[in-house]
Chains A and B, each alone.
Chain A
């Protein structure tokens, strides 16, 4: 993917806070900042991987992009339109163009609807194929597209395995030919041999139909395989984003390095939920083995490498001590 491709989605300074139950009735408001000042973009035809541990804000970010959640601050631009300024009918008109595949294929399909109805529903809502017969034809085509058959039209979700249900969820998501799919851990609940089939399906939707994908996952090898670029999220903030190979094979941010097993896992260090994220310091400070005095004083600014477009949020980069882009990555040599 060339960096010059036109942008499909751009998130600018997204913040999402959740109110927590207060300790006392009239006590101070407790706020959890799930996503804190996150900016990223997805080009047309690009797959962006979003990785992070549980509780890092991946799912919240996906829902913000889908406008299933309203951001506390920040904006989401979709193909030039500010989604955060839209509501009601205006938003619904745009919804056709971005769709979501949910993590749990058991909970995200209506158990009382037949597969045919589930996949047909978006076509009716967006009034894409008014004629009923041709709409049915379209639904059959969609099922075949995801590896199911027209015999499955009259079946209920419960008659399918996890992989089968996930296919139904994908068929529903691609029914109105969206430009962007947000896939939230789409293979986490699937068996290994089925997961590969679903990954191939995403690849082919991207390849053949030019669909952009925001692929949310904690599985680094899957993200490495499928994504053009990857964004690493830690405690609600993006710490590193850039071309997949560069970020995952030659990680720069100490957290990405830890994630990629470059450094020995630290003892007793782990993300704990419910911690305040509104601080204006590096989110990784408490666990970072290489923290400097500067890290305790101010938030690291964005460091961008122009050639690759990689961005790292770390004071160490400014010192130049961990930035090693000149060294060729070992695996790239190995593949040839």
Chain B
């Protein structure tokens, strides 16, 4: 997808610290990225890599006990981190909206869907009730809900998981936000329903005015939705690549490459052919990060330099990796993710 003009949202050098029993950790560290109009950006990482917190910080939501150490989030000519709570509340849900992982816990169980969406309009706009009623049905319909009148009258428990997630999408796009953040929106859904939701999300950016940040640990979902892929490891973004390249000739950071090949491919071999190339060891705890590159202890390319000094950003074609030794050899035949 071609992208033009200034970025819609621009994050620069964001670091967030949280005090824990084990000491101060930085679940988000020196994170920089941008989202352009009409662009869907995929943010991939394993649990604990900091991807959800990165998403929440775009809404100015930080967990208790955390502090923003540095950074800027430029949106619509202002720095979100410098705004007071009232100004931030006007943006949150209105200009920047989020779709959460579990719709059952993000929806109010004792209010009908219609009431919950009308509440959004009431707190952010001055539209007359008749217009709100129209918009309500229109949003539900464009989220792929076939019988919007019935859904509006329903309580969350009367809907299936897939329908609830569609309601979440309807709520997120209700006020026509510029940026939509979707955090693992398909985790709780069945595969055939998940595909419908992914296509719905991908359509959000097709207006070319909106941007989408799609957070997921599932590479095949990211492939389906995103134009560009960001990979997070232990609180840092370690790679940025266009999707066609990431899933074509392959990413360049050794971690991204290992992540991509440790998943059985849709058309590849079976256990009778070869063992899966698993990444040895596990993600280091954030309070005990190694010196140098956090991935070095698990990395096949690491040497002493990686274990002692922090790697720089290196550009390889249209990819960037936080690595001394990015790997540019094409990943064999084009990698299929089912």
Q: Which of B71-79, B111-119, B260-268 lies at the interface with chain A?
A: B260-268
Min Cβ gap B102→A in Å is 14
> How far is B333's CA from A218's CA once the two chains are assembled, in angstroms?
26
A225 CB contacts on chain B under 8 angstroms: 264, 268-271, 276
Q: How large is the interface on A (under 10, 10 to 19, 20 to 34, 35 or more residues)?
A: 35 or more
Interface size on B, residues (CB 8 A): 41
- In terms of DSSP, what is the predominant structure of the interface of chain A? helix
Per the 8 Å Cβ criterion, residues 132-160 of B in contact with A are: 144-146, 160
Known: A53-B192, A224-B270, A226-B270. A191 touches B47 (CB 8 A): yes
Which A residue's beta carbon lies closest to that of B262? Answer: A196
Min Cβ gap B77→A in Å is 38
Per the 8 Å Cβ criterion, residues 23-56 of B in contact with A are: 46-47
B162 CB contacts on chain A under 8 angstroms: 270
Known: A196-B263, A200-B278, A218-B190. A191 touches B268 (CB 8 A): no
Per the 8 Å Cβ criterion, residues 122-164 of A in contact with B are: 161, 163-164
Report which of B47, B145, B191 forms a contact with A220, defined as CB distance below 8 A.
B191
A-B contact count (CB 8 A): 113
A267 CB contacts on chain B under 8 angstroms: 144, 146, 196
Which A residue's beta carbon lies closest to that of B195? Answer: A265
B160 touching A270, Cβ below 8 Å = yes
B289 CB contacts on chain A under 8 angstroms: none
Report which of A164, A259, A266 forms a contact with B191, defined as CB distance below 8 A.
A259
Min Cβ gap B219→A in Å is 8
B267 touching A191, Cβ below 8 Å = no
B217 CB contacts on chain A under 8 angstroms: 191-192
A265 touching B271, Cβ below 8 Å = no
A196 CB contacts on chain B under 8 angstroms: 262-263, 276-279
Report which of A53, A192, A218, A268 forms a contact with B259, defined as CB distance below 8 A.
A192
Report which of A224, A270, A331, A335 forms a contact with B264, defined as CB distance below 8 A.
A224
A197 interface residue per 8 A CB criterion:
yes
A270 touching B283, Cβ below 8 Å = no
Known: A54-B190, A221-B338, A226-B271. A192 touches B195 (CB 8 A): no
A320 interface residue per 8 A CB criterion:
no
B337 interface residue per 8 A CB criterion:
yes
Min Cβ gap B301→A in Å is 16
Min Cβ gap B63→A in Å is 21
B203 CB contacts on chain A under 8 angstroms: none
Report which of B146, B192, B273, B279 forms a contact with A265, defined as CB distance below 8 A.
B192
Which B residue's beta carbon lies closest to that of A56? Answer: B190
A197 touching B144, Cβ below 8 Å = no
B258 interface residue per 8 A CB criterion:
yes
A218 touching B191, Cβ below 8 Å = yes
Report which of A163, A192, A218 forms a contact with B263, defined as CB distance below 8 A.
A192
Min Cβ gap B101→A in Å is 14
Q: Mark B159-187, 1 if CB is under 8 A from A, else 0.
A: 01010000000000000000000000000
In the assembled complex, 11 residue pairs joining A and B whose CB atoms fall closer than 8 Å, in A order, are A191-B217, A199-B271, A221-B264, A224-B270, A224-B338, A258-B192, A261-B338, A265-B196, A265-B199, A270-B193, A273-B160
- Other A-B pairs beyond A226-B271, A335-B267, A335-B269, 4, CB < 8 Å: A53-B191, A200-B276, A200-B278, A226-B264
* CB-based closest 8 A-B pairs: A225-B264, A196-B278, A53-B190, A193-B279, A196-B262, A331-B267, A203-B271, A191-B46
Q: Which residues of A contact B (CB under 8 A)?
A: 47, 53-55, 161, 163-164, 191-197, 199-200, 203-204, 206-207, 218, 220-222, 224-226, 244, 249, 258-259, 261, 265-273, 331, 334-335
